[in-house]
């Protein structure tokens, strides 16, 4: 017996991939050429697995703001938000995010993981209840486990199952936190938030929605799935990240509950970590403004999503249930998925390989995400890279 | 209010189709190492128990459960 015994399955998979000469996890981007192109593991590829939804990572105004902050404020804050790590920029970004979401309060975190994990672990503690969607992100699961509340799962996007679970809780719904996501990261499907809000309003409890993958994509202002479903009033806490649509790193929580201002000093992932660097805050603030000023980015993103979705579906691949900036191809056979991931890289497309337990089922995924910065020609090249995999084999692999 | 034996009886009924062929179920059967349940199958087992008894089973009890006996004991505690 040793501490390492439990890692044996992981060690075996790694050795297997090594023997096959494929390393899909932690592929090295040797040179980044643009928001949509790079040299990865020696291959020049179209980036189709980055979450750079609005393509703002090379936006000159964002870079300029970050460079100015770097020169004027230094490389890092070297401290917690609760001690020396709250600069004027952090406070300004919190105000700007609150204004964007039309909420009273906002907390800025160092990462999206810290935001989701921190809120999940702090809002509900021992004696309280968390009811979460079964396909919730790892940061949500980690948070609720840390918090010590009773955790109950409901079937993914199944409102009847959620209702059944809330009904069983009886009076305990008064101290229950329901957690769902806006767009789910692996398959790109959306939560039925209008129905979830209705059930929440009927049984009570508070609702937290993780809009990490939907910020800047849906709703008339781009606030996400809750805005598109017109149920923002039923959402108590919205959490999200700067590392996708806003092209940086960091996280946030917005709410109208005035208690949030005190709760921030109870969130360990807010207190016991250094605050985001000034350059990160500076580029995020500009990206947040550009996202609002340029609704055409959102239109471009959805047009690209539709083009890729239709293209891959047309080739016979099993794609996600609904069109979304995340287009995931399901592959039953794990070895086939690994082989195809490698061939896609050779064919000029970088996508994400997702294997269980990171995928929601026992299937593997070749997960693509599109960007507003992709041109039609680039989307077609991604489709062409998939076409070279031989779609008739795709259907066989799923039979 | 269901007791230990009610839970035990129901667990055996639900587990039967899940368990590996040739394994005889008893209170000391280990769910994962002996019966070969995957984590998804453990979740399915929990859901079926929840539906049958119309009760809420938090995930928090799972780390303390290795055997059928452990599960029935935890369920009796929850319903008590």
- Using the Cβ of A166 and the Cβ atoms of chain B, whether some distance falls under 8 Å is answered with no
Q: Tell me the DSSP string of A265-322.
A: GG-HHHHSSBPPPHHHHHHHHHHHHHHHH-HHHHHHHHHHHHHHHHHHHHTT----SS
CA A237 – CA A206 distance, rounded (Å): 8
Residue A396 pLDDT exceeds 70: no
In tens, the pLDDT along A261-287 reads 999 999 999 999 999 999 999 999 999
User: Given a cut of 70, is residue A394 above it in pLDDT?
Assistant: no
- How far apart CA A204 and CA B40 sit, in angstroms, is 29
Is the pLDDT reported for residue A200 higher than 90? Answer: yes
Verify cis geometry, omega within 30 degrees of 0, for the bond prior to A357: yes
Q: Do A152 and B43 touch (CB under 8 A)?
A: no
**Partner residue facing B56 (CB), from A148, A169, A362:** A169
DSSP-derived pairing of the beta strands A37-40 and A206-210: unpaired
Pairwise CB contact (< 8 Å): B40 & A129 = no
In the CATH scheme, what architecture does the domain A77-276 have? 3-Layer(aba) Sandwich (3.40)
Q: B22 CA to chain A: closest CA distance, Å? A: 25
Q: Are A238 and A255 in contact (CB under 8 A)?
A: yes
* Of residues B40, B54, B58, nearest to A152 (C-beta): B58
Partners of B59 on chain A (C-beta within 8 Å) are 151-153
Per-residue pLDDT tens for A110-122? Answer: 999 999 999 999 9
Predicted confidence (pLDDT) per residue in A132-143, tens digit: 999 999 999 999
Q: Determine the pLDDT at residue A204.
A: 96
Name the band, by pLDDT with cuts 50, 70 and 90, for residue A154.
very high
pLDDT, residue A21, reads 83
DSSP secondary structure string for all residues of A185-230 = TTT-PBP-HHHHHHHHHHH--EEEEE-TTTTTTSSSSS--HHHHTT
pLDDT tier for residue A54 given thresholds of 50, 70 and 90: very high
DSSP class of residue B79 equals H
Q: Is B57 on the interface with A (CB under 8 A)?
A: yes
Q: Is B63 on the interface with A (CB under 8 A)?
A: no
Q: What is the pLDDT of residue A137?
A: 95
Output the pLDDT for position A216. 96
pLDDT at A102 over 60: yes
Which of left, alpha, beta for B75 (phi over 0: left; psi -120 to 50: alpha)? alpha
CA distance A42 to A346: 9
- Among partner residues A134, A148, A152, which is closest to B56 by beta-carbon distance? A152
Res B70: pLDDT:
96
Do the domains A77-276 and A5-57+295-397 match in fold?
no
Averaged confidence pLDDT in chain A: 95
In this prediction, residue A238 carries a pLDDT of 98
CA distances from A291 to A62, A221, A223, B76 (A): 11, 9, 10, 54
Which residues of chain A lie closer than 8 angstroms to B56, CB-CB? 150, 152, 165, 168-169
pLDDT per position as a tens digit, A349-386: 999 999 987 888 889 999 999 999 999 999 999 999 99
Q: How many CB pairs under 8 A join A and B?
A: 23
Closest by CA position to A283, among listed A321, A238, A249, A316: A249
Residue A280's nearest CA partner among A109, A118, A119 is A109
A146 touches chain B (CB under 8 A): no
Fold of A5-57+295-397: 3.90.1150
pLDDT reported for residue A163: 98
Contacts of B54 in chain A (CB under 8 A): 168
pLDDT of amino acid A392: 55
* Statement: residue A391 has pLDDT above 70: no
Which residues of A are designated catalytic?
Answer: 185, 213, 244
* Domain ranges (residues) in chain A: 5-57+295-397, 77-276
A235-264 per-position pLDDT tens digit: 999 999 999 999 999 999 999 999 999 999
Q: Please report the pLDDT score of residue A399 as a whole number.
A: 44
- Both structure tokens of A58: 């090379």
Are the C-beta atoms of residues A65 and A283 closer than 8 Å to each other? yes
What pLDDT digit, counting tens, does each position of B45-73 carry?
Answer: 999 999 999 999 999 999 989 999 999 99
> For the segment A229-238, what is each residue's pLDDT rounded down to a tens digit?
999 999 999 9
CB-nearest partner of B60 from A150, A168, A169? A150
Q: Searching chain B, which residue's CA lies closest to the CA of residue A146?
A: B60
The residues, ordered by sequence, that sit 6+ positions from A274 with a Cβ below 8 Å of its Cβ are A76, A77, A78, A79, A80, A85, A110
Q: What would the pLDDT profile of A214-226 be if each residue is shown by its tens digit?
A: 999 999 999 999 9
pLDDT of A283 = 98
Q: How many Å separate Cα A276 from the centre of its chain?
A: 18
Ordered structural domains, chain B, with CATH: 4-18+34-79 (1.10.1200)
Residue B50: list chain A partners with CB under 8 A. 168
A268 — contact with chain B (CB < 8 Å)? no
């Amino acid at each position: 017996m040793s501490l390492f015994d439990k890692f044996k399955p992981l060690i075996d998979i790694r050795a297997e991939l090594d023997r096959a000469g494929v390393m899909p996890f932690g592929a090295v981007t040797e040179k980044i050429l643009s928001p949509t192109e790079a040299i990865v593991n020696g291959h020049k590829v179209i980036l189709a697995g980055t979450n750079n939804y609005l393509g703002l990572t090379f936006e000159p105004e964002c870079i300029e703001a970050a460079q100015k902050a770097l020169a004027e404020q230094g490389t890092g804050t070297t401290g917690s938000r609760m001690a020396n790590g709250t600069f004027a920029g952090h406070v300004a970004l919190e105000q700007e995010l609150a204004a964007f979401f039309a909420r009273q309060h906002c907390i800025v975190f160092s990462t999206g993981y810290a935001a989701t994990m921190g809120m999940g672990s702090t809002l509900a503690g021992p004696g309280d209840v968390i009811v979460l969607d079964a396909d919730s992100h790892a940061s949500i699961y980690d948070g609720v486990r840390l918090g010590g509340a009773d955790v109950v799962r409901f079937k993914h996007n199944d409102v009847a199952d959620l209702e059944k679970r809330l009904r069983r809780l009886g009076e305990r719904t008064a101290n229950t936190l329901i957690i769902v996501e806006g767009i789910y990261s692996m398959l790109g499907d959306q939560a039925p938030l209008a129905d979830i809000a209705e059930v929440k309003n009927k049984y009570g409890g508070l609702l937290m929605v993780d809009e990490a993958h939907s910020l800047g994509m849906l709703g008339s202002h781009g606030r996400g799935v809750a805005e598109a479903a017109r149920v923002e009033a039923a959402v108590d806490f919205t959490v999200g990240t700067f590392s996708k649509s806003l092209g940086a790193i960091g996280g946030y929580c917005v709410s109208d509950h005035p208690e949030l201002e005190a709760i921030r000093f109870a969130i360990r992932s807010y207190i016991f970590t250094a605050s985001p660097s000034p350059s990160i805050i500076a580029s995020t603030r500009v990206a947040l403004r550009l996202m609002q000023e340029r609704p055409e980015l959102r239109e471009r993103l959805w047009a690209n999503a539709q083009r890729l979705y239709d293209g891959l579906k047309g080739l016979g691949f099993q794609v996600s249930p609904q069109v979304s900036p995340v287009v995931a191809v399901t592959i039953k056979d794990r070895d086939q998925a690994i082989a195809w991931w490698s061939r896609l890289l050779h064919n000029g497309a970088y996508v994400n390989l997702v294997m269980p337990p990171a995928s929601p089922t026992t299937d593997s995924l070749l997960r693509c995400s599109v960007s507003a910065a992709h041109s039609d020609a680039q989307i077609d090249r991604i489709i062409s890279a998939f076409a070279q995999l031989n779609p008739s084999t795709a259907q066989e692999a799923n039979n | 209010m269901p007791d230990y034996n009610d839970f035990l009886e129901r667990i055996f009924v639900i587990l039967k189709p899940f368990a590996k062929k040739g394994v005889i179920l008893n209170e000391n059967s280990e769910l994962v190492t002996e019966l070969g349940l995957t984590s998804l199958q453990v979740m399915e087992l929990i859901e079926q128990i929840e539906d049958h008894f119309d009760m809420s089973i938090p995930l928090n009890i799972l780390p303390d459960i290795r055997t059928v006996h452990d599960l029935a004991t935890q369920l009796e505690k929850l319903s008590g």
